[in-house]
């Protein structure tokens, strides 16, 4: 398959737009948590942009709950454009406002922090967009978005103070604009009618993601507790590295970058991070910062994948399902903070703290997000029915997006999935026998199959969104 083939270019335009828009939101969040990388004159203002604890966090959860409930109740009548515009305006306005008044007017800063909670809407709406992509497309979208976020922070470090403020304030607007454009132009397929899942609500998977958040937060907090000036730049470099490696892997061998395969690396990454964090207690080491950064970025990518699979596996509105996932994730963040405080109050040794983190990681990997469960969540398919036109169309669409089929090859793929023979295909497309054979040879090459039967089996396996 040619990744940048002319046939594939049109299908990739909305994916790239979605990735860049999503990356703008993630970049806004990363800048808010990377104060040490920005100009000294605005670092205190940047610190005020973090959600943190207190009323802003509870308002964040309330907005998540309200948005998810509204999406479930209203279905297609849910006012996505109005919600997106409101979130963009409130987030951008609060960001710029805090930069203008902090640190001289603390009461006003506390008030301006409240609208930042509206940024939670972006998580739900971008999660919904991922549900409108095929599995490989969604993974690449998340990887490009995460890479973009890290690149935005790197760009900010090169700008003067005013440039950093302008960049930070413009990111929510750019993200909201991309969402509005995607929905208005209908560049991605509607979610309704594309999700065939009938599984139960994936509470087990979402709880596992929340518990992994506890692990990430404990590792980060223990590591940063060893120094007065954490090296946040290495976190950004780790983000660039992890996303680049995974993206290249998804292009070179798409079959290896499945959700189940990705889940296999989660526990080893956390194990390495835990060892490096607790191996020494005399200062933060660069290698441990990089390792934790890799684990954190990998965890964030995995979270989006699990949320998407969970949303597609039920008959609920994707925004509502992802809202539950985000609420549980926020609860995991709060639990992590509480656990760190409790472990500090008990004055646990480094060995005991490392054992607790490892035990929690192993429990999550064994009982909540084991490889077999993730494989079932990701790879379970409906019973194939060649008479079901929607399923046949989905197979053809996924084959086109994954393997870069041309328009004519896509038509042939659809008829192969339906069970049509060569004579029927030639009659419908009005092509000669040799022309059909040429198309089939090209399709064998692109899909790495070696016979018609093998190609049909592959096409019919692509029933997952």
Entry pTM:
0.79
How much is the pLDDT for 191?
47
Domain boundary among 147, 171, 191: 191
How much is the pLDDT for 104?
66
Domain match, 145 and 239 both:
no
Domain match, 365 and 265 both:
yes
How much is the pLDDT for 170?
96
Domain match, 74 and 158 both:
yes
How much is the pLDDT for 105?
66
Domain match, 187 and 199 both:
no
Closest residue by Cα to residue 21 from 135, 161, 165, 183? 183
How much is the pLDDT for 101?
83
Domain match, 310 and 393 both:
no
How much is the pLDDT for 453?
81
Which DSSP category does 365 fall into? Answer: I
Contacts of 384 (CB under 8 A, 6+ apart): 391, 460, 463
Alpha carbon distance 50, 34 (integer Å):
10
Domain match, 269 and 317 both:
yes
3-state helix, strand, coil in the chain (%, to 5): 80, 0, 20
Question: How far is residue 265 CA from its own chain's centroid?
Answer: 17
- Interhelix angle 433-447/389-403, nearest 10 degrees: 70
In the chain, how many domains are there? 3
Domain match, 246 and 353 both:
yes
Print the domain residue range for 306: 195-380
* Residue segments in the chain with a per-residue pLDDT below the cut of 50: 1-4, 7, 191-198, 380-383
Residue 465 forms part of a structural domain: no
Domain boundary among 380, 400, 434: 380
Q: What is the pLDDT of residues 166-206, one digit of tens each?
A: 999 999 999 999 999 988 866 565 544 334 444 578 899 99
Provide the token pair at 464.
């997952």
Provide the token pair at 339.
């656990």
Q: Which phi-psi region, left, alpha or beta, contains residue 419 (left: φ > 0; alpha: ψ -120 to 50)? A: left
């Amino acid at each position: 398959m040619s990744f940048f083939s002319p046939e594939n270019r049109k299908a990739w335009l909305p994916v790239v737009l979605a990735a860049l828009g999503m990356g703008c939101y993630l970049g806004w969040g990363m800048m808010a948590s990377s104060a040490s990388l920005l100009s000294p004159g605005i670092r205190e203002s940047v610190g005020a942009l973090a959600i943190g604890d207190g009323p802003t966090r509870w308002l964040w959860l309330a907005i998540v709950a309200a948005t998810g409930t509204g999406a479930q109740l209203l279905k297609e009548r849910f006012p996505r454009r109005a919600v997106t515009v409101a979130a963009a305006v409130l987030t951008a306005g609060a960001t710029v406002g805090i930069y203008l008044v902090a640190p001289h007017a603390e009461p006003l800063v506390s008030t301006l922090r409240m609208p930042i909670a509206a940024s939670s809407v972006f998580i739900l709406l971008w999660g919904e967009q991922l549900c409108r992509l095929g599995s490989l497309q969604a993974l690449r979208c998340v990887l490009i978005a995460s890479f973009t976020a890290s690149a935005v922070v790197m760009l900010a470090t090169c700008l003067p103070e005013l440039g950093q403020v302008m960049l930070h304030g413009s990111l929510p607007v750019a993200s909201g604009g991309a969402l509005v454009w995607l929905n208005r132009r209908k560049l991605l397929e509607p979610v309704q009618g594309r999700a065939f899942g009938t599984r139960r609500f994936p509470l087990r998977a979402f709880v596992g993601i929340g518990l992994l958040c506890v692990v990430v937060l404990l590792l980060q907090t223990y590591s940063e507790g060893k120094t007065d000036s954490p090296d946040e730049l290495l976190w950004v470099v780790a983000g660039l590295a992890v996303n680049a490696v995974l993206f290249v892997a998804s292009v070179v061998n798409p079959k290896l970058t499945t959700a189940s395969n990705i889940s296999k690396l989660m526990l080893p990454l956390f194990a390495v991070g835990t060892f490096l964090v607790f191996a020494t207690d005399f200062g933060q080491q660069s290698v441990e910062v990089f390792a934790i950064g890799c684990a954190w970025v990998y965890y964030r990518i995995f979270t989006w994948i699990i949320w998407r699979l969970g949303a597609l596996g039920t008959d609920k509105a994707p925004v509502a399902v992802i809202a539950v996932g985000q609420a549980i994730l926020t609860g995991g963040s709060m639990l992590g903070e509480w656990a760190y405080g409790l472990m500090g109050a008990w004055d646990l040794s480094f060995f005991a703290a490392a054992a607790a983190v490892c035990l929690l990681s192993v429990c999550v990997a064994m009982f909540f997000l084991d490889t077999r469960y993730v494989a079932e969540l990701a790879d379970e398919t409906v019973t194939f029915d060649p008479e079901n036109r929607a399923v046949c169309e989905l197979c053809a669409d996924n084959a086109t997006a994954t393997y870069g089929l041309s328009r004519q090859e896509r038509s042939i793929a659809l008829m192969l999935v339906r069970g049509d023979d060569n004579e029927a295909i030639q009659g419908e497309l009005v092509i000669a026998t040799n022309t059909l054979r040429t198309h089939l040879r090209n399709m064998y090459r692109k899909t790495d199959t070696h016979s018609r039967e093998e190609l049909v089996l592959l096409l019919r396996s692509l029933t997952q969104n």
